[in-house]
Structure 1
Amino acid sequence: MSETTEPGSPRVGGTVLGSTDPRRLWEWYRDVFAPGLTRDGAEDGGPVRHLRLGGTYVVFEARDDVGRKSVEPGRVLVNFEVTDIREMERRLDAQLNPRWIRPVETVDEHVLLGTLEDPDGNYVQLCDTTADGTPA
């Protein structure tokens, strides 16, 4: 995708994921996207945790106005650009056994996509634009 904003336009600073169990959700995202990370990003054990990924934040916040599971998980997909999506798929299958909503597949000659479900039922999309598009 090409950038279409003008200088000085707003940019997405982060994504907030409200949860009844933000620590569980934070741990899952940490295991998926930052498996070597040990610090949890919470201030003094407070209710808000975060991960800084690719120059933006994913924030995990305790909320009492959300259910334990998302009722419309396809409404908003958080998309993460990754490298070596096939290796990531193998690691996730071995370590987390996630529910794949859309298995990793070739979208065009340079893009592989896959969508999985996080513990709260949100859909998380993985996109690899560094791939050659050859199925593994």
Structure 2
Amino acid sequence: MSLRLPTGSVTVLLGPSVQRRRMMNRLDDSTGRCASGHDAVVRRLGAREAEPAGDRLATVESARRGPTAMVLADRLTDGLDSSERSTVLAALRSVAAEGIAVLVDDADPVAALAVADGALRVDESGEVRAEELAYLAS
């Protein structure tokens, strides 16, 4: 699957949970390419549900080291309370600020939208389209 994400931005994946899960599983961590066609480092960040928030923040911080071009945050906040979830998602915002493209699939897409620059919606058939976020601007 070919997917282009804007650098320096957090993009949230929206739509039915099963379809989001399938899309994230189809993305190949080893075949990232930058706009010029060169190989790009893609890091997939995830966590076990029982993993403490501090460990997840360290995982996010590790994505800032090295030549990372894209981060796939794959259910990184599962099992966290709302405060911890917000803290981890905000850390992804700081990763994007360094020029890294971040794609987030979260069990709580509304919380993820709080740090998002954009969104993609995957429908029941697996089709992906850009989602308008203008309604969040007010």
TM-score by length of 1: 0.28
Structure of larger gyration radius:
1
As a proportion of its length, which structure holds more helix?
A: 2
Tell me: higher relative CO, structure 1 or 2? Use CA pairs within 8 A at least 6 residues apart. 2
